[in-house]
Structure 1
């Protein structure tokens, strides 16, 4: 069958020129070009970049891969709020698009896509030859049905609806009539009510897993039908999640990408204390860490495990909730108080104490320098004495700020660093550290807390999820019509240079309103036992099981 090749988007010529003059780097070029529908290999050739070749390292067939990771209880994937949840299901529930560690967006269940010049029409081409585990063909109707599910604003905790608002009928809370059209067995056209450059990138995010028509809600392990190379075996939250290769299923990806190599995958939960991860590694109980953090990076190096590192826009946000229902006396609704809290904190100290200096200092605006349209606003002011005077003037110097963080190493240390600096400024601060399962049940309900936010490819994505008025994941309670209007404007601009001026305004609004203390961008690490291939850390914490295998001679199946 002849594969479809989409035409180049008009903006790609400008991208090539920017790359040639050094104005953008490889990652930014690949993210922007592939979002617009260009394949990664084509983009590399057009841009004069080396084309990534399939690894020639030999990979053994078989083996059980044991991964240290929090094992989460699962519900409807569109309500997933943690990357690890996507890892637990990614072996059998696949995605239309896959985000690569180098910044490229690669078609998975989609072969490719086309985007018109103003990003109001997307033509999605389904990869031919894919079958569900029950033997039925995967078609454009499956794509249409899943996108319509994402648009359902009435579904509890459905963050996908915030990502596809340009397809939603505000009157019904569902997809607009005619917004999602099945053209034939392998083609779907999306007609957006307004431009949105993030559609393809959002399809790669972890809540966007593609579900079979038989799925009726709840734990996807109970349904178990997907298109991936593995099948679900068991899920015991807090303990283990087990998948096995679907040997009776002719996986479509074997011819396209190679693999799968592994016979079995076990996600094993050792809690949030890295000392327990280190002990498990030393005892030979695991092969791969989900991530390595802080001082334990050097500890893992010390036992001879192989490290990998990637730059990312992963971060922690210390936010004061502006919601009026938080407390009878809520100082965080006061803009001067929020700005003063930020003024008291030196973000560089947070990076050094919280993540051992491994990353980049951030500027309280949640747009990373590795994002395509990041605007450089200059350094933040730091003046603890002035911060104290501001809070005194607002009548809140006697208020006790209870700063809540999860109990894992880097977030706990960062919270401690923030609390210590606020105390040094003369403020009253209590620290509360809670277990991960407790924290994530109520993460939006704490008045003053720290939350981890994942890396995402485009600058507009997190702004829409976290700071748009009424967004499902808007934990700050921030609501500003001007911010929403500017965000809509930014979503229309595929050209990053044109978008950067708008991003400067958006970033400036967050800083001027003291919405967050966002101290640094994390470099991410993981370690494996040296016997794995293709197990490098991903900037969005994704684990692509179809790529990973053992080196020849290293296959072991624990009893």
Structure 2
């Protein structure tokens, strides 16, 4: 009894909710995986949390036989990396993440651990978060890493003039204020700003965030790919990472040639144990998956960022290669801008959704490697996912909705699509085109080069956009569908959805949070903002000599302990 009381008191010191959370796990009401994730978010160390669950902690890559030296050549698109707050792809973040680092780090096991932060704690109501920063971190120019570095980055993210998508993740630290102007319809115009007192520097190595509402996922949000931390004087240094690559990371930038290559060299003065590799080279082979496959087979590169799923059997037959595979919450959405005709009529959007056979779309686009989606952008592997009734293809309903909307003669709809993450994107759109035809909807795919697509993805009335994995459904919903956020490509704005999302984001109890997600998912699905065919498995291949590398479900690269045998 005494040991139980001691344990309870120890857990309460971390957070008052932990004892009841553990009791729920012991009663079978909370899964061990969900306890593990939640306990670490509340500030419990990963080692202690794993011990409480009885689950084995993932083994670190073996280092006893590891050898230092060598150059890792990686096939991946290479782009400009000017402002870290404006990174808009995982590949860009991989270019930057060896130079810049993050406050936290979410591993392949979905557990978020300290990184530049040494630890964190939160109030009982999840509105006050305190992060304790590591004291031994130095920037590559010799400056010490301090709380003002974190504060300066968050201020930039929450400044609408900067245009960072991170403002959606950290909207609990913002407020809307009236400008005194009205739009053409007489509606008052507001603007977003950071709430006064949202950031509080307690000392050089302690920073506190004061939120307007409860938010459980704040530590996870800090590992979103555009949340890498630049120097506090980033703007004064010119505001361009490629031109002034000052970072805390394990590598330094040697060369950057967009659409060609990027070279990174190991930092001997890195604040942790230096990386094993001498260099990492990113080599841009374009969008053609055949070029990546050829480079792997002919030993021109050691690792691919991603391989096309249609290459899986070929890759497995290559004795010199190893294949990495992960089921993820990566997806693609045929999203409609609800401010543009004919998509401003919900019945048109619902008619498109009613034509979909998600299982068939998965088979055609990805040979079944993944899972069917449900048009609400929350994946079954997300811990807060709520299972709604299965969607069924219904052409009678689709035709009736179109007739009600005044399109009984059908519709012709151009859609912009690229193959920025593989041929599956165009394949999915072509399969959707076939499924829409019986309802009288003629889909007209407009294939674009990846670079051109990313120039228009926020502007086109109808586009098929690939979205990467996030460990939480609420993270991607905050980024993509909350009113007014920069990456709200569909221009969707629904106060009921925003309110339901805010409520779900702040619920600590796993079962209650999942229950709250029913309304969130239902609203988005019923409003038919997206026609979302699938969740996809991702795969990449590398030479067998590549050691100490694990594929992250978001395809984040961490080569700190990677080595070549």
Q: Measured at CA, do residues 360 and 24 of structure 1 come closer, stay the same or move farther in structure 2, by a change above 3 Å?
A: farther
Q: Measured at CA, do residues 80 and 418 of structure 1 come closer, stay the same or move farther in structure 2, by a change above 3 Å?
A: same
Contact 2:80 2:242 in 1 (8 A): no
2:6: which partner in 1? Answer: none
Q: Is 1:163 matched with 2:169?
A: yes
Give the whole-Å Cα distance in 2 for the aligned partners of 1:313 and 1:466. 14
Q: Is 1:291 matched with 2:306?
A: yes
Q: Measured at CA, do residues 544 and 322 of structure 1 come closer, stay the same or move farther in structure 2, by a change above 3 Å?
A: same
Give the whole-Å Cα distance in 2 for the aligned partners of 1:15 and 1:411. 41
Which of 200, 216, 220 aligns to 1:197? It is 216
Contact 1:70 1:270 in 2 (8 A): yes
Give the whole-Å Cα distance in 1 for the aligned partners of 2:195 and 2:522. 34
Q: Deviations over 1:445-466 (max 9, x none)?
A: 1222211111112221111111
Which of 33, 36, 49 aligns to 1:30? It is 36
2:506: which partner in 1? Answer: 492
1:335: which partner in 2? Answer: 346
1:370: which partner in 2? Answer: 381
1:517: which partner in 2? Answer: 531
Q: Measured at CA, do residues 365 and 96 of structure 1 come closer, stay the same or move farther in structure 2, by a change above 3 Å?
A: same
Give the whole-Å Cα distance in 1 for the aligned partners of 2:86 and 2:491. 20
1:81: which partner in 2? Answer: 88
Contact 2:30 2:511 in 1 (8 A): no
Q: Is 1:307 matched with 2:326?
A: no
1:44: which partner in 2? Answer: 50
SS at match of 1:128: coil
Contact 2:148 2:201 in 1 (8 A): yes
Give the whole-Å Cα distance in 1 for the aligned partners of 2:21 and 2:70. 43
SS at match of 1:222: coil
Contact 1:311 1:523 in 2 (8 A): yes
Which of 211, 220, 226 aligns to 2:247? It is 226
Displacement of 1:278 in angstroms is 0.7
State which drifts further: 448-457 or 381-390: 381-390
Displacement of 1:88 in angstroms is 0.1
Contact 1:321 1:476 in 2 (8 A): yes
Displacement of 1:535 in angstroms is 2.1
Q: Deviations over 1:363-389 (max 9, x none)?
A: 111111111211111200211243234
Give the whole-Å Cα distance in 1 for the aligned partners of 2:73 and 2:28. 42
Q: Is 1:238 matched with 2:259?
A: yes
SS at match of 2:376: coil
Q: Number of aligned pairs?
A: 535
Displacement of 1:18 in angstroms is 4.6
Displacement of 1:218 in angstroms is 4.3
Displacement of 1:25 in angstroms is 4.9
Q: Measured at CA, do residues 365 and 424 of structure 1 come closer, stay the same or move farther in structure 2, by a change above 3 Å?
A: same
Q: Normalising by the residue count of structure 2, what TM-score does the alignment of the two structures yield?
A: 0.91
Contact 1:131 1:137 in 2 (8 A): yes
SS at match of 1:332: coil
Q: Deviations over 1:251-281 (max 9, x none)?
A: 2221xxxx51111011111112211111111
Displacement of 1:545 in angstroms is 2.1
Contact 1:31 1:457 in 2 (8 A): no
Contact 1:528 1:535 in 2 (8 A): no
Contact 1:6 1:113 in 2 (8 A): no
Which of 488, 511, 518 aligns to 1:474? It is 488
Displacement of 1:442 in angstroms is 0.9
SS at match of 1:122: strand
Contact 2:382 2:471 in 1 (8 A): yes
Q: Deviations over 1:393-430 (max 9, x none)?
A: 42224421112211331111111111111124332121
Mapping of residues 434-445 of structure 1, within 5 Å = 434-445=448-459
Displacement of 1:174 in angstroms is 4.3
Which of 403, 407, 413 aligns to 1:401? It is 413
